[in-house]
Amino acid sequence: MKPKVLITERLDEECAAWLGERAEVVWVAHDDPAAMAEHLPGAQGMVVRTYTQVDAALLAQAPELKVIGRAGVGLDNFDLPACEAAGVRVVYTPDANTQAVVEYVTGLMIDHVRPKTPLPGGADDAVFHAMRKTEVGTQLDEMTLGILGFGRIGKRLGQVAHAIGMNLHVCDLLPEAEMRKAVDYPFTYCSHEELYAGSDVVSVHVDGRPENRQMMGASAFAAMREHVVFINAARGMLVDHDALAAWAEASPRASAFLDVHDPEPPSADSPLHGLGNVTLLPHLASRTGTALKNMSWVVRDVDAVLAGKEPSYPAF
């Protein structure tokens, strides 16, 4: 008999079909408690994405569960100790979206410093040449990029930025010597305060551990340059949105780009709505066809565990 695997969020069709050849696949919406309660008791596996909360309450409903696959990178929606205590393996796809996120962040930087206003219809000679005078940008190789968090994405972003010619400031929990062994390009190892004070762009790429919640608060923003570009394409919970709103209002030359939010979508009364120098984006950094398929191939490790094999990317 095939094992029963629940899929609770969107998954690439090819990957779902592959899993369906090896397991009894049941699609259950994560936000349908009745359906979840109906199918969890007989499930041996699950595949989830961002919004399914895997906690002790869910695990208690699934006594036969052996493995949960996270089609993605972060494990913020998992209570990993509870999973381990229940004997449930957790597998994920840690490198699935690295290239997609790095391209997205690089694109945000380029679009911001190099204006690209389209010519209006019927633009005459005067309009054409006026735009050439006013649409003047800044080169990235004249700027310093501060990378907060030097994991897979942070290191790859540094590689791309160095190739463009940017100066790099880096801050991470890892020792400096370990970080330097991991890459073949130069960077300045900084404290948080040094990174904020010395960077033209600050891009956040840290994980979602509880102690990182709202690490980007009033003191962090106050330490940044008046013209800084702040980018968060990591996790919404890293930013104190009230502090960011107050800083943005007081710092008209600064800009912020938020691709992730807490909650998602941003609440209707978020203080960030309507601020001219804050851009809210709908969590798009990993949204390429290739990255989405890479994440969906977590089904391979789900199948491996159900077959009694060791997975390639276990969370613990």
pLDDT digits (tens, 9 = 90+) for 283-308: 999 999 999 999 999 999 999 999 99
Residue 316 in domain: no
DSSP secondary structure letters along 191-230? -HHHHHHH-SEEEE-----GGGTT-B-HHHHHTS-TT-EE
**pLDDT tier at 13, thresholds 50, 70, 90:** very high
- pLDDT value at position 200? 98
- pLDDT value at position 167? 98
DSSP 288: S
Please report, as a single letter, which amino acid is at residue 45. G
Beta carbons of 151 and 74 less than 8 angstroms apart: no
| Mean pLDDT for all residues in the chain | 97
**pLDDT tier at 264, thresholds 50, 70, 90:** very high
Helix (H) or strand (E) holding 279: strand 278-280
Q: What is the CATH number of the domain that holds 297?
A: 3.40.50.720
Q: Are residues 262 and 275 in the same domain?
A: yes
- pLDDT value at position 217? 98
Q: Average pLDDT for residues 195-206, to the nearest whole number? A: 98
Residue 21 in domain: yes
Q: Are residues 152 and 296 in the same domain?
A: no
C-alpha–C-alpha distance, residues 236 and 13, integer Å: 28
Residue 313 in domain: no
Residue 315 in domain: no
- pLDDT value at position 180? 97
- pLDDT value at position 67? 98
> Is 264 annotated as catalytic?
yes
19-67 tens-digit pLDDT: 999 999 999 999 999 999 999 999 999 999 999 999 999 999 999 999 9
> Is 235 annotated as catalytic?
yes
Q: Look up residue 95 and give its two tokens.
A: 């490198």
pTM above 0.85, yes or no: yes
> Is 287 annotated as catalytic?
no
Q: Are residues 256 and 121 in the same domain?
A: yes
Pairing of strands 188-189, 89-92: unpaired
Instruction: Classify residue 88 by burial, with Cβ atoms within 10 Å: 0-12, 13-18, 19+.
Output: buried
Identify the three-state secondary structure at position 124.
coil
Percent of the chain whose predicted confidence (pLDDT) is above 70: 100
Residue 311 in domain: no
Q: Are residues 78 and 117 in the same domain?
A: no
- pLDDT value at position 94? 95
- pLDDT value at position 268? 96
Number of domains into which the chain is organized:
2
Residue 258 in domain: yes
Q: Which of 235, 241, 261, 300 is catalytic?
A: 235
Residue 26 in domain: yes
Q: Which of 22, 112, 283, 287 is catalytic?
A: 283
Q: Which of 64, 176, 178, 264 is catalytic?
A: 264
Its domain, for residue 221, covers 98-285
Residue 312 in domain: no
Percent of the chain whose predicted confidence (pLDDT) is above 90: 99
